[in-house]
């Protein structure tokens, strides 16, 4: 069974930094896109950053220049480096990955359990 396990969330002061990790494991053939969403209670889940298998990236406008998404293909892991954090970045962050697995012929989307990021003084 494929699962994504997140870590790295916590409480940080405005202007601080945090790095989130998301490791996929299981019966994996290949991992395609990976990335991060975030959600505040009562609001829709929003795409924060994504990275393709080829290394191309996309970012939410409000985090561009502050956040960096990366991946380690050998470890099936994606990272979200968050710098210059603001209170508005407070949310639950969910990682996702598009994964081809045995015995399927097409990839499926998988989600991490979510990790809380709180930016407050």
Residue 41: the pLDDT is: 94
Instruction: Provide the pLDDT for residue 38.
Output: 98
Coil, strand or helix: which one is 118? Answer: strand
Q: Residue 48 CA to chain centroid, in angstroms?
A: 8
Tokens of 113: 């359990």
- What pLDDT, on the 0 to 100 scale, is given for residue 87? 98
Res 36: pLDDT? 98
What pLDDT score was predicted for residue 6? 97
CA distances 14 to 17, 84, 103, 105, Å, are 9, 7, 46, 45
Q: Tens digit of pLDDT for each residue in 72-114?
A: 999 999 999 999 999 999 999 999 999 999 999 999 999 999 9
Residue 25: predicted pLDDT: 97
């Amino acid at each position: 069974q494929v699962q994504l396990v997140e870590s790295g969330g916590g409480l940080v002061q405005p202007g601080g930094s945090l790095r989130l990790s998301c490791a996929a494991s299981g019966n994996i053939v290949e991992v395609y896109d990976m990335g991060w969403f975030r959600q505040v209670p009562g609001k829709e889940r929003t795409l924060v950053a994504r990275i393709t298998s080829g290394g191309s990236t996309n970012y939410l406008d409000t985090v561009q220049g502050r956040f960096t998404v990366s991946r380690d293909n050998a470890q099936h892991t994606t990272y979200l480096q968050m710098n210059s954090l603001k209170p508005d970045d407070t949310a639950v962050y969910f990682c996702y990955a598009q994964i081809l697995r045995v015995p399927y012929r097409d990839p499926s989307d998988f989600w991490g359990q979510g990790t809380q990021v709180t930016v407050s003084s």
